[in-house]
Each structure stands twice: as C-alpha cells, then as structure tokens.
Chains A and B, each alone.
Chain A
Amino acid sequence: MRDYIIRRVLHAVPTLFAISVFAFIVIQLPPGDFLTTYVANLSASGQVVDEAEVAALREQYGLNQPIYVQYYKWITNFLRGDMGQSFYWNRPVNTLVGERILTTMLISILTLIVTYGLAIPMGILSATRQHTWIDYILTVFGFIGLATPNFLLALILLWIGIQHLGLGGGGLFSPEFLDAPWSLARFWDFLKHVWLPVLIIGTSGIAEIMRVMRATTLDELGKPYVETARSKGLAEGKLVRKYPVRVALNPILSTIGWQLPVIISGSVIVASVLGLPTTGPLLWSALTTQDMFLAASILMILSVLTVVGTLLSDILLAWIDPRIRYSGQEV
C-alpha cells in the first residue's frame, strides 16, 4: 500500500510540471500581451500613452524577456505562493484567487457527494422497479440530464426562479453575508444557497452514473445466485442491498476519479452563468482580457485540484479494493 501511494504521488509530479508549462504557453499564445491591449484601449479612448511608462511596466512584469525566463519567474514564484499581479484588476492574483478558491472547492466536493448520493439510490430504484412509472420517470430524467448542457440548465432555472418564484438572481450568499468573514452563520447561509448550483453542475453526472448503476444492477439481478438467495427466503430488500448492489457499485466507484475533472470543468461555465464567486467567472474574464498571470494561475490551480483529487480517489480505491493495486502494477 505504501509503495503504491508513493508511486502514484511520484507519477503526479511530472504531470503537474507538464501542466504548468502547458498552462503558461497557452496563455502566451494570443498575439500581443496585456499591455498591448491596455495601450490600445487607452489610445482608443483618446488618452495620451506615455511610452516611458509602458516600457517601465513591461520591465516590471518581465514582458520583454524570453518566454522561458518568464516561465521560470512565474513558476518559482508560484511555488513560493506568489502568483503575480493581475493586470486587469490591478491586484495580486493571490488575493483574487484566495477569495474564491474555498467556494470552488466546497462546491466541487459537495457536488461530488450529492452526485453519488443521489445517483446510486436512483439507479437501484430504477433497476429494482424496472418497467414501472418510477423507472420511466428516472429514465427520462437520465436522458434529458445527459443531453442538456449544464449552462443551459442554469439559465432556465435562473429564469424560472426570477420569473415564477420571485427569487433574486443567483449568488451564493445573502446580502448581509456577502463580504463577511467565514463563520458558522455564513456557512449555513452558504448551504442554503449552494444546493441549486450543486444540482445544476451535478445533473449530467447524476444522469450518467444512474444509468450505469441501473444497467449493472439489472445485469446482476438476472444472475442465478440472486435466484438462489431468493429461493432460500432472503428478504428482497436485504438481498438486493447485500449482493447485487455491492457488485454493481464496483465499476462506479472505480471511476470516481474521473468524475472530479468533469465537475470542476462543468462548474466553470455554470458559475459564469450564475455569477457565483468561484474561480470560474474569474478565469473567463481573465481569458477574455488576456490577463495572463491570473488566467495561467487559475488554470494551474484547477488542474492541481483535479490531479490531487484523482490521486486521492485512486488511493482511496486501492485501499478499498486491493485488486486495483495489483492491476496497476502491470501497466
């Protein structure tokens, strides 16, 4: 077990390095840099641009140096916990991201829990009540949930909320808690607001896992051992819970690591639509304004979250099911 964990952690290091290089290069790809855009905007609005000032800024941000020097500066500072300056907001990236990283993580983890917490019982229900109205409703939900882009779901629910339920638009906190420091009361307020985005982000995952759970449970339910247990007089509920469900859970839990990237990735768009205070909308605006340190840092942070999350879930799985450790060695 210890060897497995060490091996997996060592594996993650080159991946993270590659991601950091990649994130930085991608951010550099657009022609020009933030200063060019900045200067263009100033000239467009008729202001006089001081060449010396621009040159000074260029010097300060190291924009006139070759790209690998810029990368080296960025990554060493990043590792020390300094993510640089946001050009657009004119504030350190640390404070900008710091405000939002906790909500991002909370939403992702909550979504993961809710996804599995809902999808597994729904799948079992759908399988054990096959060809009943419950099964049909859940099946329809499954198909629609898979087919609807989640930002659209966000738009529609937001519209229903405003139009028919008289709710205020989106947000994660009541106004009085918006800028308050974290406290128990604020956390409670957060929980009262967070369920909607969590459900929206989770819908496609719930639909998918539910369908898989239904299919595998159905396969198991048709097997002879179930018939045997039933003929021996085992109560139906206990029978399903004890055997087929356990077998059916295995393939689902083994993909738990893949679910996290999907959630983190989906939350970016949903958060942008709902205007949630997470890193998603920040990434969006940073990308459209070519705010490169901010964009690269968020891309990096989201990837780190994904890699670490996958790592944790792999380790958890290996702990639950030793067979995974052994099969992992061969590859």
Chain B
Amino acid sequence: MASETQRRIPSPYDEPGVIEFAADEEVLNVLSPRQLMVRRFLKSRLAVLGLVILLVMYTSVIFADFIAPYSPTHRFSKFIHTPPRTIHLFDAEGNWRGPFVYGLEAEVDRVNFQRIFVEDTERIYPIRLFVRGDPYRLWGLIDTDLHLFGVPEVEPEDMGPLYLLGADHFGRDLFSRIVMGGRISLTIGLVGIAISLLIGLVLGGLSGLYGGIVDSVIQRLIEFIRSMPTIPLWMALAAALPPNLPQVQMYFGITIILSFVGWTTLARVIRGKFLQLRSEDFVLAARQAGASELYLIRSHLIPSFMSYILVYLTLAIPGMILGETALSFLGLGLTAPTISWGVLLRDSQDLQAIALHSWILTPALFVVITVLAFNFVGDGLRDAADPYSVREG
C-alpha cells in the first residue's frame, strides 16, 4: 500500500479502489474480474492461511482411513486414557535417531490407585511412513491395510500404541477418531449449506422475481422461522428424530434441521439482489431484446451476484459446523457409534474426566481451527469480491 500511495497522492474525491488500480494499471487492465479477485485474495495472508488449512483438512477427510494410524474402533484395553505420546528425536544418550517413541508400560500407582504410564527407554520404536496396520476399505472399494505413518513390525499392544493425541476411555486412538470424525463434522456444513442454498435460491428468487402475494407469503414464513430462538428450535427438531435411525439417515436428518434455519438469511439476501438487479439497465436491455425469464436468471442475474453468495456461503458454514457440534454434544444430534467431533466432545461433559484427562478436549481445538479458517477465507473472499474495497484493517 505504501509504495502505491507514494506514486500518486490520493484525493478524497477519488473513487475508492482507483488508488489500488493505479499501481500497475497495464497488468490489471488485461485481467478478467475473476483473475482480479484471485489476485486480491492471494494478497491477504490470513485468507491464504485459512485456505491452506481447509485444503489440508478436507484432503484428510478424503483419505481419512489412510491417515488415521489405527482403526477408530480399535480398543487397546491396556492403554485406557493414555496421555498423548512424546515423539523423541534423540535417544537417552543424545544420539540422533529420527522420530521414534519409547515402549510404554502401564502401571498402577499404589497410593492413589491411578494408572500411570512409564516410558521404557530401553525399547526404541522408530516411526515410519507407509506402514501396514489395521485393515480398512478405502472409499468402500479398495481393501488395504496401508497407513500413512506408524510403527512397523510390532504389535501396538506390546509397545504402547502411537497415540499422537492420547487415548479415550476405551483405549481408542483419539487422533484416528478425530480424523474420522472430520468426515462428518466437515461435510455436514457443506451439505447443509448446499441444501440451504437450494431452498434459498428458489424461494428467495421467487420472492424477488414475482413480488406480490408470493413475496408476502415467503417473507412472513422467513420472519416466523427467524423469530424463534435457533438452538432450542434445533434441539426440539433433533429430539424429534427417532434415536434408532441408521447413521446415514441421521446424518441427513441433522443437516436438514440445520438448513431449516440457514436458508432464511440466504433467501433474504437473494431476494434483495433480485429486486436490485431487476431494474438494472443490462437486465432491462436483455429483456427488451427478447430474452426469456429463465435465460435472464441463468445468464445475467445469478452470475452477477454469485461472488456475493459465495462469500456468504463461506461465512455461513461455520454456523452449521458449530450447530452439529452443539447438538451432538447435548446428545440430541448424532450419537455413538457414529463419530463426529460433537460426539467425541460428549466424553468431555463430565468435568471429572476433563480434570484428569484434559486431552479429551482436543476435538474442540479442531472445531475452533476449522471455524477460524472458514472465517479467514470468507473475509478474504469478501474483500476480494468487492472491487471498490480498499481495506486497510
């Protein structure tokens, strides 16, 4: 920013944004609006960071079984509530050994009868990439037992499993469970927002296009839904789902409940955009030229507010993720054996458990990071999508 302002002293009567374009005008003149957006987006470091985090997270969702070192249901009964393992690089004598873990022994403290875990510095287990472990079926197609990392050629029970983030009350690997839980927690927001978008686009579009009685009815419906407090409403709807539904149906049930409120804001936004654009010159011109209504919507209206909608969607996904987490945490959403971050957090309802085994709160960290990343990306998109924005904050 500084170098640009030096070249040209901005006057208050400048159109905002002109200052930014003045910098390298020749390059910018030949770029399409989309390329301009990408350029501006990449300038924001937080937005790029957010995007990278999301890419990593969603990639790990696709390859969840492969990345998780153990099956999420594999119970190591000897190692209940093991704290996160320390990954060592140097052995006891200070020699470089590459990443490894020591053998772990579970002992019972005779004084206060708690389980304690002691590292056995005699036994060294190096961590390797691409090792054989619990068998799984990737994407329901490929049978394999290959995992991204692990300790090869030794039974986990003998060495103390490689708990990156500790173990839960059944001795299951929390890291593996978090990776698998991401499959639901991360996608529920996307699916939910897709449903919201569909309803919002149809109802908001109808409302904005036709106005009159259609508009009134839809607006009253939106007002009605929005006048109810969201979480109690979600809770009541979620409680209405039969608890013994199959996992897939439960998943869609919860997504539909989350979208039930989500579409209203979207419909409002889309209606506003339709109303605003309906009387724009280019739309009137197209209509005069004999364009059909459907063609108008598809080729003129939707493209002209799509970037706005995209921003809105990015910023709305976190709400859905938090909604699922909250519902599952209360036991009204998804329930075990389904694994989601909210379900994992259920274990932390018990304060005693948090006090003794604070690592069971780690799924929360993943929720927070995901939501933060979505917010960063959304903010970055918003600033990038608005051609007149000269944001300095």
Residues on A lying within 8 angstroms of B by beta carbon are 14-15, 18-19, 22-23, 26-27, 29-31, 130, 143-144, 146-149, 151-152, 155-156, 158-159, 162-163, 169, 214-215, 218, 223-224, 227, 261-262, 264-266, 268-269, 272-273, 283-284, 287-288, 290, 295, 298-299, 302-303, 306-307, 310, 331
Contacts and interface: CB of A to CB of B under 8 A. Distances in A.
B392 to A, nearest CB: 7
A45 B376 CA distance: 53
Contacts of A287: 235-236, 239, 332
A214 B331 contact: no
Given A30-B240, A287-B239, A303-B228, A162 B367 contact: no
Question: What bracket does the count of chain B residues touching chain A fall in?
Answer: 35 or more
A169 B375 contact: no
Interface stretch (B105-113, B126-134, B350-358): B350-358
Contact of B240 (A29, A146, A269): A29
Interface stretch (B77-85, B290-298, B321-329): B321-329
B351 A27 contact: no
B188 interface: no
A267 to B, nearest CB: 9
A298 B233 CA distance: 11
17 contacts: A19-B224, A26-B236, A26-B237, A147-B368, A148-B371, A149-B322, A152-B368, A162-B355, A169-B351, A261-B230, A262-B230, A264-B232, A265-B229, A265-B230, A273-B349, A290-B239, A306-B228
Most buried by B among A130, A151, A224, A227: A151
B393 interface: yes
A269 B326 contact: yes
A302 B351 contact: no
Interface of B: 12, 219-220, 223-224, 226-233, 235-237, 239-240, 242, 318, 322, 325-326, 329-332, 345, 348-349, 351, 354-355, 358, 361, 364, 367-369, 371-372, 375-376, 392-393
B341 to A, nearest CB: 10
B203 to A, nearest CB: 17
A307 B393 CA distance: 36
A215 B390 CA distance: 12
Contacts of B358: 159
Contact of B228 (A19, A144, A295): A19
Contact of B235 (A18, A147, A268): A268
Nearest to B372: A147
B224 A18 contact: yes
Contacts of A29: 237, 240
Given A26-B236, A149-B322, A149-B367, A158 B230 contact: no
A-B CB proximity, top 5 nearest? A29-B240, A265-B229, A287-B239, A147-B371, A265-B231
B15 to A, nearest CB: 14
Given A155-B348, A162-B355, A265 B329 contact: no
Given A19-B224, A159-B354, A266-B231, 10 more contacts: A147-B368, A152-B361, A155-B354, A159-B358, A224-B12, A261-B230, A268-B231, A283-B235, A284-B330, A306-B227
Contacts of A169: 351
